[in-house]
Amino acid sequence: MPKNAGVALLPLIEGLRAVGAVGLRYAADSRRVAGAIRAAPAGLFLREWLEAPAGVGAVWPSSERLARSMAARVDPQGAGLVVELGAGTGVVTQALLDRGVPAERLRVVECAPAFVHHLRRRFPGVTILQGDAARLSDMLGVDAAGAAVDAIVSSLPLRSLDPDIVSAVLDQCRTLLRPGCPLIQFTYVWRGLPVAGLSDGFVSRSDQAVWANLPPARVIALERAA
Ligand SMILES: C[S@@+](CC[C@H](N)C(=O)[O-])C[C@H]1O[C@@H](n2cnc3c(N)ncnc32)[C@H](O)[C@@H]1O
C-alpha cells in the first residue's frame, strides 16, 4: 500500500461516516414520523377505516367546526347524562367538554378497540364504554325507568351500518331520552334524513350545514316527542 494511502482514504472514510450518520438519522427520523402518523388522530382514523370502512363511515376525522356545531346543541347545565355514540378519535368528546359538559356526566360509547384505547388515554377523566351502541341501556347500566339521559350526540355512520343495528340504536335513543331532550346526528347527506326511521318519535329542532368539514356535513338536531 502506498505510504500516504491512509491519509488519502481519510476523506472517503469521513464521507462514508457522514453518509452513515445521515442515513441513521434519516432512518430514526422516518421511524419517528411514521410513529407520529400512526398515533395522530388522522393516521389512526385512516387505519381504522381501512380495517372497517362501513363501521367507520368516513376517511377523515370530523373537523372541530363540525364537533363544535354538534356540542352547541347540548345544554351543559342539565343533571342527566350526555351520551356520545361513535366517538372515534374524540373530536366531539373534546367539543362537549369545551362546551362545559362536566366529565362526570359524559358517557362515551365506541366499538373499535383502537379508538377506545386512544380515547381512554386522551380523556382519563371520562367514562369510555367499549361496545355496540345498539346495546346502550346495558352499557349504561340503566333501564328505561331509571334512565336520565339529557342528550345523545351521535357520529355513527347510519347509512353504512347494518339496518338492524341502526334500528336497535334508534330504539335505544327513543327509550332513553326523555321528552324534550335532543338527539344530535351529523350526516353527509344533503337532502332529507340519512335513514328513514331517524325521525320516528322525534320532532325536528334544527338543521345546520357545516362547510368546514371534509366532506361538508349537516348537523341534524331532533327532539324526543312527548
Ligand atoms: C364517523 S366515525 C367517528 C367520527 C368522530 N367524530 C371522529 O372525528 O373521530 C364513526 C365511529 O362510530 C364507531 N361505530 C360504528 N358502529 C358503532 C356501533 N355499533 N357502536 C359503537 N360505535 C360504533 C366507529 O368505530 C367510528 O369510530
Tell me the mean pLDDT per 10 residues along the chain, length 226. Answer: 47 47 51 50 88 87 97 94 97 98 97 96 97 96 73 97 97 94 96 94 96 96 96
What's residue 147's pLDDT? 61
Cβ of residue 133 lying under 6 Å from some atom of ligand 1: yes
Whose Cα sits closest to atom 23 in ligand 1? 86
**Each residue's pLDDT tens digit, 151-208:** 999 999 999 999 999 999 999 999 999 999 999 999 999 999 999 999 999 999 999 9
What's residue 32's pLDDT? 52
Ligand 1 pocket mutation, candidates 156, 160, 166, 188, criterion most atoms within 8 A of CB: 156
What's residue 31's pLDDT? 57
Phi, psi (5° rounding) for residue 165?
-65, -45
Cβ of residue 157 lying under 6 Å from some atom of ligand 1: yes
Grid coordinates standing for 225?
316527542
Sign of CA dihedral 48, 52, 56, 59: positive
Q: Which atom of ligand 1 is nearest to the CA of 92?
A: 6
Claim: this prediction has a pTM higher than 0.85: no
Q: How far apart are CA 31 and CA 206, in angstroms?
A: 46
Cβ of residue 156 lying under 6 Å from some atom of ligand 1: yes
Domain-wise residue ranges, the chain: 61-224
Fold of 61-224: Rossmann fold (3.40.50)
Q: Which atom of ligand 1 is nearest to the CA of 161?
A: 16
Whose Cα sits closest to atom 15 in ligand 1? 55
Cβ of residue 91 lying under 6 Å from some atom of ligand 1: yes
Q: Which atom of ligand 1 is nearest to the CA of 132?
A: 20
Q: How far is the CA of 62 from the centre of ligand 1 (A)?
A: 11
Cβ of residue 110 lying under 6 Å from some atom of ligand 1: yes
Q: What is the CA radius of gyration of the chain?
A: 24
Best CA proximity match to 73, nearest among 213, 206, 216: 206
Q: How far apart are CA 99 and CA 77, in angstroms?
A: 10
